[in-house]
Amino acid sequence: MILLGFAGLIITDNEENQEIYPFDDFKKEVRFNVLVKDYRCPKCQSSNLAGSNAPIAKDLKLEIYKLIKLGKSDQEITNFLSQRYGDFILYEPPFNSTTSILWVGPFFILIVILSFVSLFVFKKRRFASKKDNLYVKSKVDQQAELK
């Protein structure tokens, strides 16, 4: 009974995902499959177009399909989508004034952290070498005293 239930689930799941986009050119099919993973679904924002069943995601997939069939380049398709839905739906946003923090921010934080780490390491080293000097001095002194 449970097995049957599982079988039912699998079958319905397959049926739901049965969106067929037939291409005569295998290269175009590959491009399609890459592109639909590269755009975010505007409705359900935590998934890409490929993984979304929202009506708008289906529409956009169909639109991408048509554009590829018309021979549009990846860049043209990206432009088509971002002109309508904004940079938000691109998983690789372009570099401009609003997205600069995305691109520069991590490097900025890295530089801040590296400078702190080097500051600490530098300080420790200096401290350690001072201690060494003291130690050497005292040994010399001790030896001098022994003589």
Distances (CA, A) of 120 to 29, 93, 108, 113, 123: 54, 36, 19, 11, 5
At 2, give phi and psi (nearest 5°). -65, -40
* Site size for other proteins (CB under 8 A): 19
Q: Which of 102, 60, 66 is nearest to 85 (CA)?
A: 60
Length of the chain: 147
How far apart are CB 8 and other proteins at their closest, in Å? 27
Q: Which is nearer to other proteins, 103 or 122 (CB)?
A: 122
86 in contact with other proteins (CB under 8 A): yes
CA dihedral 39, 10, 20, 71 (to 10 degrees): 30
Site string for other proteins, 10-49 (x = CB under 8 A): --------------------------------xx-x----
Segment interacting with other proteins (CB under 8 A) among 17-25, 50-58, 99-107, 125-133: 50-58
Dig out the tokens for 129 from the structure. 């070498």
- Angstrom distance (rounded) from CA 35 to CA 66: 13
116 in contact with other proteins (CB under 8 A): yes
How far apart are CB 119 and other proteins at their closest, in Å? 6
55 in contact with other proteins (CB under 8 A): yes
Site residues, other proteins (CB under 8 A): 42-43, 45, 54-56, 59-60, 63, 82-86, 88, 112-113, 116, 119
